[in-house]
A and B are shown apart, each in its own frame.
Chain A
Amino acid sequence: MEKLRKNKRIGRRTFLKVSGLGATGFALGGGLPFRSLAGPKEILIGDIHPTSGGLAEFGKSCRDGTELAVEDINEAGGIKSLGGARLKLLAADSEGKPEVGMKAAERLIQQGVVAIIGAFQSSVTFATTQIGEKYKIPTVIDFGIAENILERGFKYCFRLMPSTDMASEQWANFTMDMAKSKNVDVKTVVIIHENTLYGTSFAKKAKGYIEKAGMEVIAVIPYPYNTADLSSEVSKIKALRPDIIAPISYTPDAILLTKALASQKVYAKGYIGLSSAGHGNLAYVTSLGKLAEYNMTQTAFGNRKAARYSSFEAGFKKRFGVEPNVAPACYNYSAALLLADAMERVGSAEPTAVRDALVKSSFRDHLLPGETISFDEIGQNKSVISPFIQVFQGRQYVVWPKKFAQKKVVFPMPSWDEILK
């Protein structure tokens, strides 16, 4: 009969056995330090966009952009500094509603996304970034122009599109520059805008910059974006006779507005969308046929002169069978590339590390007009431009600033009779 060891000191072998078992158990059970040493094989990225409801068509274009980017990144070898880890996109539908977006953000974070791209609408983005900040998951905002999104002192928000200030200032300066270059006098502006957070916040900011640039805003006309009819609002504009009509609209209202302006023969030297998502949308152009010709709008747009653009466009057509809706697709494509670049630089897919890498971004290989993507202290992309695009024969081309222009601008706007000839 063996004498049992009476002393309480643990022997070396037992110690090794126990710790070995414990370590394995800990690793299997999901202890973080062990995970990151091995490196994740698949990195989850979340995408929140309105793929149903009134803005579904923008939502889908945004989603297509991120999907294509994720596929291209994986095909190019994934995140090489993480051993070729592949990205996986977890997509969620915000239905265009902030509450649904918030629930989607919570769900995606529970499922383990390391970052979120989204959410196209200011109202939804405002809500989802709160969730991201709470769980310390960085969000790369494609569109979502309202001021207050980046004014909360959050550390985990990064916005690609120009801020309202940047875009308004650009609109005012571009309009003046363009008019000067064509020797046209522009003095009065009427702003007509949809009345959610998007249109309202933009109109307010823009008014200041327009007046600073030397023009006068003689009226600001709000309307509900899902209205059935804009003829009365257009009659108001007709009575005012401004030099420039500046709409801020989503797509269906943009279509109604243009039809009403054409049928009431309202003429202005410029009908220039003020960072108007609707006027920049390809669907707007295709459904109006001839009526869209020479329409101009400032819009977040892609840069067709970017080095990567032609391969992006070819890849998009191959994957989805249609031409990309330039702005949503390019922005979201670039957002995903930016995230991959951040992870590549920092060699980690840990959300806070990714966030720190994003802060230091200086990313060149993107599809946006502007210089490198880099962010200021509140997370705003510093150098991006929302250029003026104009419609020629059913296609949209950047016309101002000249540096990114693909075609020569036509200004002032020809009369409706000429357009319909």
Chain B
Amino acid sequence: MPLNTTLIIQATVNGILIGSIYALVAVGLTIIFGVMNIVNFAHGSLMMVAMYLSYWLFVSLRVDPYLSMMMTIPFLFLSGVLIQRFLIDHVLEAKHHIQILLTVGLALFLDNFALFLFSPDFRAITVSYQTSSLALGPVMIDCPKMIAFFLACALTFCLHTILKKTTMGKAIRATSSEKEGAILVGIDTRRIYYLTFGIGSACVGAAGAAVLPFFYCSPNVGYAFVIPAFVVVVLGGMGNFWGTLVGGLIIGVAEHLGAIFVPGSLKQMVMFIIFILVLFLKPRGIFSK
């Protein structure tokens, strides 16, 4: 088995490309956790919703998946706000296991509703630039994946700017670090929660549309991305924005390098070994103080 450097570089590049998607999904998850202390198990199912939306837009109206983000992002944002308003809001003060049950229940509902509406058939699309790739020396960079990468980075950067610079962003960060203090200074934490869940869902709204060209759509598809995202969130530190971003890239690269060196499912094991090591050695994330 020729383990030449081309192979390793190619794997690293592929890992970074897919890692940006893991990071985007994980950022949504970590924001929700950071602000509201809720682990959103329905995150993957919401991504699935975004994928189906993008799929149907492509199939019926020929809307390019990357353009369809202009619809999936607001749609998922709104859905997130509504979910927070009508579901999560009621259990914010409840015990963790109640919150978990609620989001798991939501996930099951969405998955099975999709199963009912769209049947279990796999749906995949092929865009005209599907197989165009950029060649950087011996390494080939897939066009759709590259577009997804840039969009994911851009969105993450936007999100970071919003959180850092805007008043709303500061309010979100305030609520996240010190809830009572935030209430005392007059921040409407209720509204912040709606926004946060909305933003978190909007992240998978973007990620779902972004991966459609190189992945397939089915009622259970969310789990393929959300499980690595959970690992990324732990790796980066729950609620730690930059940590999650870097964590996503690390997990993507680890998975792909793993695929070169170890056979079959063991490549996923690489990711989970990292997960366990982090939990043991630096449970607050590798970037924690």
Listed in ascending order, the chain A residues whose CB lies under 8 Å from chain B are 51-54, 56-57, 59-60, 195, 219, 221-224, 226-229, 231-233, 235-236, 239-240, 251-252, 255-256, 259, 262-265, 283, 287-291, 416, 420
Contact = CB atoms under 8 A, between A and B. Distances in A.
Given A57-B119, A236-B260, A239-B6, 12 more contacts: A51-B120, A60-B119, A60-B120, A229-B14, A231-B11, A239-B7, A255-B124, A263-B133, A264-B133, A265-B133, A287-B125, A289-B126
A239 B2 contact: yes
Contacts of B2: 239-240
A407 to B, nearest CB: 23
Contacts of B143: 263
A56 B119 contact: yes
A195 B264 contact: yes
Nearest to A228: B224
B18 A228 contact: yes
A284 B131 CA distance: 17
Contact of A229 (B4, B10, B18, B126): B18
B150 interface: no
Given A223-B264, A228-B224, A235-B11, A263 B130 contact: yes
Q: A-B pairs with the 5 shortest C-beta distances? A: A56-B120, A222-B264, A232-B259, A287-B124, A224-B265
Contacts of B224: 226-228
B216 interface: yes
B133 A221 contact: no
B265 A263 contact: no
B1 A236 contact: yes
Contact of B263 (A222, A262, A289): A222
B282 interface: no
B37 interface: no
A221 B126 contact: no
18 contacts: A52-B120, A56-B120, A57-B119, A57-B122, A222-B264, A227-B224, A229-B255, A233-B259, A235-B11, A236-B1, A236-B260, A251-B122, A252-B122, A252-B216, A252-B218, A255-B122, A263-B132, A290-B126
A288 B126 contact: yes
B121 interface: yes
B140 A255 contact: no
Contacts of B131: 259, 262-263, 265, 291, 416, 420
A57 to B, nearest CB: 5
A236 B215 contact: no
Interface of B: 1-2, 4, 6-7, 10-11, 14, 18, 115, 119-126, 130-133, 140, 142-143, 214-216, 218, 220, 224-225, 228, 255-257, 259-260, 263-265, 267-268
B225 A232 contact: no
A265 B140 contact: yes
Contact of B256 (A219, A231, A288, A289): A231
Contacts of A231: 10-11, 14, 142, 256
A43 B158 CA distance: 65
B125 A232 contact: no
A390 B237 CA distance: 50
Contact of B220 (A54, A60, A232): A54
B122 A229 contact: no
A292 B205 CA distance: 29
Given A224-B268, A239-B6, A263-B140, A232 B14 contact: yes
Contacts of B122: 57, 251-252, 255, 283, 287
Given A228-B215, A233-B259, A53 B220 contact: yes
A13 B226 CA distance: 80
Contacts of B255: 229
B207 to A, nearest CB: 12
Nearest to B211: A228
B133 A256 contact: no
Given A229-B256, A264-B140, A57 B7 contact: no
A235 to B, nearest CB: 5
Nearest to B11: A232
Nearest to B255: A229
A235 B218 contact: no
A240 B214 CA distance: 24
Contact of B120 (A53, A219, A420): A53
Nearest to B143: A263
A59 B46 CA distance: 26
Contact of A57 (B121, B125, B228): B121
A287 B126 CA distance: 7
Which residue, of B125, B216, B268, has the highest number of chain A Cβ atoms within 10 A? B216
B260 A283 contact: no
A263 B131 CA distance: 4
Contacts of B7: 235-236, 239
Contact of B218 (A54, A227, A262): A54
Given A60-B120, A263-B133, A232 B256 contact: yes
B97 to A, nearest CB: 26
Given A228-B225, A232-B14, A287 B216 contact: yes
A51 B264 CA distance: 26
Contacts of B220: 53-54
A348 B133 CA distance: 64
B192 to A, nearest CB: 33
- The CB with the most chain B CB atoms within 10 A, among A252, A265, A283, A288, is that of A252
A235 B10 contact: yes
A87 B257 CA distance: 55
Contacts of A56: 115, 119-121
Contacts of B123: 287
Nearest to A288: B126
B51 to A, nearest CB: 13
